[in-house]
Amino acid sequence: MSESMLVRASRDGDQFHYLWAARRASQRLVPQSGLLAITIEEAATTEFPGGEQVEVGEQLIDIAEYYGSTQLESATRIRYMQLKHSTLQVDEVW
């Protein structure tokens, strides 16, 4: 089996993941949504008072959506989302 076939499922999943994130981000264009900011693969740096940073690989999230503000105290809503998908087990519920 070629090396490209070994990573195909992963790449197919990446493409789905990119489209899913783009769809979520497009809500930023709708003023009524209240969506102020989106981060990809991390939380907003304003969530870490004093400039503290999360170590690479810790608390990893696919998308964080911030409504109203990126400041925890004044945001009206914050959503952290982690997408799980499989191109090989499409009929299996997770």
Q: How is the chain split into domains, by residue range?
A: 3-81
> What are the C-alpha distances in Å from 35 to residues 4, 38, 41, 49, 80?
38, 8, 17, 22, 13
How far is C-alpha 41 from the chain's CA centre? 6
Query: pTM for this one?
Result: 0.66
| Segment 48-59 mean pLDDT | 59
Looking at the DSSP assignment, which residues form a beta bridge with residue 77?
67
| pLDDT for position 56 | 55
The answer to whether the beta carbons of residues 3 and 11 sit under 8 Å apart is no
As given in the structure block, the two tokens for residue 47 are 């969530």
Structure tokens at 44: 């907003």
Please, what is the average pLDDT of the chain?
A: 76
Q: What is the mean pLDDT of residues 22-41?
A: 87
Cβ-based neighbour number of residue 63 at 10 Å: 19
